[in-house]
Amino acid sequence: MTTIDSDSRDIIHAIERHDGSASTTDIRRETGLDNSSVRYRFRKLEELGFVATERDPTATPEGVAPITIAKLTDDAREEIQKGLIVESKRQRAKIEPADNAESIKELEEELAQLRDRVHHLQSNQNWIGPRVEELVEDHHE
């Protein structure tokens, strides 16, 4: 039985869900992995004979590096059929824009409260500072 890590399994199943052929962009979106992690695992999966990669220069504007497309090999499809490569059950966090907006609003409110507190402390310092100096002067006299 072939042993691969869960991120590699996620990549294989992402490619499978894209009808056996997916770009690095598709895989990053679906798995949450960064570009270097996807490329590293492509190399490992190619060494195992599970994927074949090719560059697609027509998928990007001129002057931009071509997108890498990964395709499942027959060996990978056979392994999936046999159940030897089981899809990872790990769920990646999905952050929705609405979640971000709510978090940002909460942070802004917290920041406003902290600014008020700092302003209050500065006011106290402005009032207390001269009093302390007076006490120190009186004590030395």
Q: What is the pLDDT along the chain (141 residues), one digit of tens a residue?
A: 457 888 888 899 889 889 889 988 889 998 899 888 998 999 999 998 999 998 876 666 666 667 888 999 988 888 877 776 655 554 444 555 556 677 778 888 988 999 999 999 888 888 888 888 888 887 776
Q: Look at residue 52 in the predicted model and tell me its pLDDT.
A: 92
pTM of this prediction? 0.55
Q: Look at residue 51 in the predicted model and tell me its pLDDT.
A: 92
> 3-state SS of the chain?
CCCCCHHHHHHHHHHHHCCCEEEHHHHHHHHCCCHHHHHHHHHHHHHHCCEEEEEEHHHCCCCCCCEEEEEECHHHHHHHHHCCCCCCCCCCCCCCHHHHHHHHHHHHHHHHHHHHHHHHHHHHHHHHHHHHHHHHHHHHC
Q: Look at residue 105 in the predicted model and tell me its pLDDT.
A: 81
CB 4 within 8 Å of CB 86: no
User: What is the arrangement of strands in the sheet containing 67-72, beginning at the earlier edge strand?
Assistant: 21-23, 67-72, 51-56
Q: Look at residue 71 in the predicted model and tell me its pLDDT.
A: 92
- 14/99 Cα distance (integer angstroms): 25
